[in-house]
Chains A and B, each alone.
Chain A
Amino acid sequence: MPAITSAMSVPPSVPGVDRNLDTSRHASAIDVRNMNFYYGEHQVLFDISLMVPERSVTALIGPSGCGKSTFLRTLNRMNDLVEGSRSTGVCLVEGQNIMDPAVDVVLLRKHVGMVFQKSTPFPKSIFENVAYGPRVSGEKNRAVLADLVESCLRKAALWDEVKDRLNTSAMALSGGQQQRLCIARTLATNPRIILMDEPASALDPASTDRIENLIGELCANYTIVIVTHNMQQASRVSHQTAFFFKGRLVEVGPTMKIFTSPSEKQTEDYITGRFG
């Protein structure tokens, strides 16, 4: 298939993201093989196989209802909370099959954190929000917690804005700040992998910009999988892009390739805005 020259104008990436990354040369953080997923009798995901390289960003794109969010939620077993859901296949996270019913999901979720579309600060102080994860893991030492809260807020680029009011309610922060707080809170459980479900879709452009740059910084140390409806965003922040359609993984590859010369017609149609 000839390369598509003007599929779309690809915007520059955020610093820290190499969109031509040769994913096959990387160790995998997540390795999904032949995953099927059902809500009751209704099959939502069909035979998904996908490799996520370590310390990189993988964007999941596709029209609403294509299963990308469901797929994301299988990676830390959040779908266990949905009554009547079940799945088959293998999902290796750092070599261990997390689909195994014997897996301790509480430990898994500390290792594979998640940031949601809607910012969900707990009705507690900013400090207590970030300290929540370490506290439920049993950390009681106030000095250790204080250090951890500071370092996580710094990593989430929020420290300077909140350092003087750590003990005020997190509910008073702006939407963008709340979302960065949720990222800091996730970092505080010391995860290796961070799942993001449309983390910027409810934010204004400036806040979105900050989140995107943050993703670029975080991927030096964390593996990130992000679901986004915003094609420009996917192209800016990710090393690798996976296109989902009707519960199937149509195509996955280095972001630059997906956005300039996709192999599949469906992918091309979607990213050029012909449907979806």
Chain B
Amino acid sequence: MSETPVSWATRRQHRRHETLIQWALFFCAALSVLTTAAIILVLLSNAVYAPGDKTAFFEKVSLWEFLTGTHWKPSDGPGGKYGIWPLLSGTFLVAIVAAAVSIPAGLGAAIYMSEYANPKEREWIKPVLEVLAGIPSVVFGFFALKFITPVVLKPLFQFLGADIAVFNSLSAGIVVGIMVTPLIASLSEDVIRSVPRSLREAAYALGSTRFDVSAKVVVPAALSGILASFLLAFSRAIGETMAVAIAAGGNPVFTLNPLRGAQTMTGFMVHASTGDSAADSIPRMSMYAVGITLFVITLIINLISGWILRRYREVYQ
């Protein structure tokens, strides 16, 4: 019986192939880590400590003024004020309105899709939601400015006897809420669906209505994932830029009145990076300090959501 001898060389070639793939994949993974590291480096080198003859933001403005000041008036002259609070209030005002819109809508959509909809309905609801998620942010901005404010909100608040500005954080929050609704719906639906069927059957067998099953068994069982989806959506709402910059305007006022205009952290950053101040001027450098603040806030929110996921996950056999 003759047996073709295995060529050792071929085998090594296979191995080389493997090694190549391994390196390519490693490069892909490393790329995102490197990018993150580079971003942090750029932020820090402009905000905290600048090498060479450049001066970093916090070398000119004290951290204390930045964290406690309630006026944000970037200017090269002596009148420049760099208190982060107006930007923080604008950001959180928009994000909270967005949460108030997207949490009920997103969770409701998720429950409907997983507990109520038949497969045919699900077939078209999901793509529609994905289309919503694919609309560019600028379009939402103009939708807020040209439709939601003048057509919906203005008559409504006139009827209530209040006045709403052309640029206002309410309309910005509403469109951001609409934008992040698909995110909540899709993430929550995934966790809701992963609740074992046996749990639903047990609830039905105890004489539950569909609503009992959804609200008292399925949602509580999936709560950790649902909360995590809320937080992820919240951190996206905080980071949302274009729609907010267009709808809420660019006036940094320290206010919690959603009927007035506001500037958010991201809105200011766009403004600063496209403005006409010199590249190493304080107004331009302040952008990096705001960037770090934003980065830290979203990082904290994402860490909390990860912690909730791990801490409150129910383990099913």
Contacts and interface: CB of A to CB of B under 8 A. Distances in A.
A205 B31 CA distance: 56
B221 A123 contact: yes
A137 B207 contact: yes
A136 B207 contact: yes
A182 B202 contact: yes
Identify whether the interface residues of A are mostly helix, strand, loop, or mixed: helix
Q: Name which of B204, B206, B212, B317 has the most chain A CB atoms within 10 A of its CB.
A: B206
Given A123-B221, A171-B314, A81 B204 contact: yes
A118 B317 CA distance: 10
A83 B121 CA distance: 14
A109 interface: yes
A119 to B, nearest CB: 9
A122 B203 contact: yes
A259 interface: no
A4 interface: no
Interface in A149-200: 171, 182, 185-186, 189
Contacts, number: 66
B220 interface: yes
Interface in A120-148: 120, 122-124, 132-133, 135-137
B217 interface: yes
A114 interface: yes
A228 to B, nearest CB: 18
B9 interface: no
Contact of B201 (A120, A123, A133): A120
B314 A123 contact: yes
A236 interface: no
A163 B40 CA distance: 55
7 contacts: A83-B119, A113-B206, A116-B202, A120-B201, A122-B202, A132-B203, A189-B206
Interface of A: 76, 78, 81, 83, 106-110, 113-114, 116, 118, 120, 122-124, 132-133, 135-137, 171, 182, 185-186, 189
